[in-house]
Structure 1
Amino acid sequence: MSHQRQDLDTRRIVWSGATLLAALLVVLVVCFVLWRSWAPPVLQHVHRPPEPRLQPDPTRDLATYRHAQRNADYWGWVDREHGIARIPVERAMELMAKQPPETEDVR
């Protein structure tokens, strides 16, 4: 009785794997060289994105916004010299409801 001949050629599989690994290394080296030579000039031409940009400190911005919203319902002067005051929205609506509508003289 003789033994069965092996169907796979181990030497050919090892050489194929080594060839693929060598090709991968060559491609990686070429990509690295190209990236090192092209990246600096490309990155110099990058401009800042247009407005609006991301907030540098969103926590502080939110605190400022909430503070302004809390203070919006209080009475106070916006510009005392020009007689501009701030009043709560509900009170402004009451005052506007009490005023007679202005009529235009249409003939």
Structure 2
Amino acid sequence: MNAQGHEKHHIDAPVLTRLGVGFACAVALILLLMALLWQHMVPRYPAVPAQQVPAPPRLQATPPADRAVLDRAQRQQLNSYGWVNQGSGVARIPIERAMQVLATQHDKAPASSGSAR
């Protein structure tokens, strides 16, 4: 403001230039400090040698065919006789035969005397 209380009509270029240069220097200094701090803050990991990199996953090439083979093997095991543990005398029998044996044992089981109707 001048002596009469009015605003100036011109811009003080040297003051504005010094202000711009000071602002640019402050931004540059802040960026430099951030870069220096970043170098100390980021952890440094050693490079992993090639022999320690895990192998890629081995995926099934033909899942439906693999499943069919597994189903056939399980069906064959369910429908055949064989030893589970021959040393202890544990064997497997076909599932149809096992259901017949269980049904026969259930028919021969005595009726429980605990329920009176």
Q: Same fold (TM over 0.5)?
A: no
Structure (1 or 2) with the larger CA radius of gyration: 2
TM-score by length of 1: 0.37
TM-score by length of 2: 0.34
